[in-house]
Amino acid sequence: MPLVNMRDMLYHAYDNNYAVGAFDLVSLDFLEAVIDAAESCRSAVILSIAEPHFAYYDFELFLPAVEAAAKRASVPVAIQLDHGSSFESAVKAINLGCNGVMLDVSDQSFSDNIDQTRAVAEMAHQCGVSVVGELGYVAGKEGEGAEQHPGETTFTLPSEAKAYVERTGVDFLAVSIGTVQGRMNGRAKLDYVRLKQLNQAVNIPLVIHGGSGLNEDQFHKLTSNGVAKIDYYTALSDVAAKAMRKRSKENPNGSFTDLKKDVKEAIGLEVQRCLRQWGSAGRAAEVLERCEPWLSVEHLIVHNVSAQPGQSVDSLMSEGKRILSQIPGVREVFTGEAMKENSKYSFCWSVRFTHKAALDSFREHQGFDAFLKKQFNSNVSDLVCIDYQEKT
């Protein structure tokens, strides 16, 4: 059950001056290590899937594992798409189970960033999903040396941030105040005056990317000035690679599983260190109490077909399935025919939505409305519709 609404989770952190870690996962070792570490520290955690990493694994295969891990966890968990590049990738991530999305179009002009982020925020909110926008540009690339970073850092302007949040409707704002994504030589210099001004201007939880390499004092200043979420990857990648290098030195002919034997432990220790340092360790129970559980909703339809000749049931169902599957928030569409011939209802549709908010908004979807009016309603009879919310 402890898959929870990310918004509630981050407001608890924001109101209590600590930050939740959002850890980018690139393999099952990362997933297991992050969940185990969060459970052993009794901390909320965000399992993060970053679009720039999709080159390393199949996102569609990986997300069901992430969701299963979240559901069986004993601490509150949210799942986010990190650095999403487009409206389409945000829809896909939501339909596959993410309950938070970050859209990163921060390299574009202020007005283009606003337009694209607003469109994603409207769509995501209709699915109950919360949204992180980014303003200002945090240079660098996760997991790489920061010197190879593309572009120069652009700091977030407090005056722009206020307008950006109002016009896009984002729930959280990722800001640029001097951190760099990737590995840095030396320590980043952070602009705390700017951070304070940003927090006062927008008054919503702030997000930091490029947390690797900061020290305890720096993290403390971040969390006491509105930072409620820290996205973290490079240091995890580095400790994992270091563990493998050490193993390969000791055992040059080691098998694959042999070489990665210490990886999980190395990642787990680093995650635990972060959760303690950022103040989220030990707070799982209070967070859970405050959070709405993230429950899917099932829209169930059973019916017969009217005697009226016309479209066959097969094409009605395949067309309906095609339209429904494209709607944001629809996770799965099952269509079926009764196995016994004399069943009271011969046909069934079961449409699973990510959250009850998505169920409320899909009825207004234009494509679906047209399908109902033109094709569905005139062909079916004895229709029964019931909505069910997941029970845990």
Under the rule (CB under 5 A), what is the footprint of Zn ion?
209, 231
Give the nearest distance from C-beta 179 to Zn ion in angstroms.
Answer: 9
**CB closer to Zn ion, 174 vs 327:** 174
Asked if 244 and 209 touch (Cβ cutoff 8 Å), the reply is no
Give the nearest distance from C-beta 140 to Zn ion in angstroms.
Answer: 8
Residue 143 belongs to what H/E stretch? strand 140-145
**CB closer to Zn ion, 208 vs 291:** 208
Contacting residues for 164 by C-beta, under 8 A, at least 6 apart: 110, 113, 114, 117, 133, 135, 170, 173
Ranked by CB distance to Zn ion, the top (closest) residue is 209
Give the nearest distance from C-beta 24 to Zn ion in angstroms.
Answer: 7
Give the nearest distance from C-beta 211 to Zn ion in angstroms.
Answer: 9
Give the nearest distance from C-beta 141 to Zn ion in angstroms.
Answer: 9
Give the nearest distance from C-beta 195 to Zn ion in angstroms.
Answer: 17
140-145 vs 172-175, strand pairing mode: unpaired
170 phi and psi, to 5 degrees? Answer: -65, 155
**CB closer to Zn ion, 209 vs 283:** 209
For 285: left if phi > 0, alpha if psi spans -120 to 50, otherwise beta; the answer is alpha
**CB closer to Zn ion, 73 vs 222:** 222
C-alpha span between 132 and 176 (Å, rounded) = 13
Asked if 384 and 303 touch (Cβ cutoff 8 Å), the reply is yes
C-alpha span between 113 and 41 (Å, rounded) = 37
Give the nearest distance from C-beta 22 to Zn ion in angstroms.
Answer: 9
**CB closer to Zn ion, 36 vs 51:** 51
Alpha-carbon distance values, 4 to 9, 142, 337, 347 (Å) = 7, 26, 35, 34
C-alpha span between 293 and 301 (Å, rounded) = 25
Sheet containing 297-305: which strands, arranged edge to edge?
330-337, 347-353, 297-305, 380-389
326 phi and psi, to 5 degrees? Answer: -90, -10
Catalytic: 82? yes
**CB closer to Zn ion, 149 vs 283:** 149
| Measured distance between the N- and C-terminal CA atoms of the chain, rounded to whole angstroms | 6
Angle of helix 234-250 versus helix 263-277 axis, rounded to 10: 150
**CB closer to Zn ion, 209 vs 352:** 209
C-alpha span between 72 and 171 (Å, rounded) = 27
The catalytically annotated residue of 8, 24, 36, 82 is 82
Q: Which residues are catalytic?
A: 82
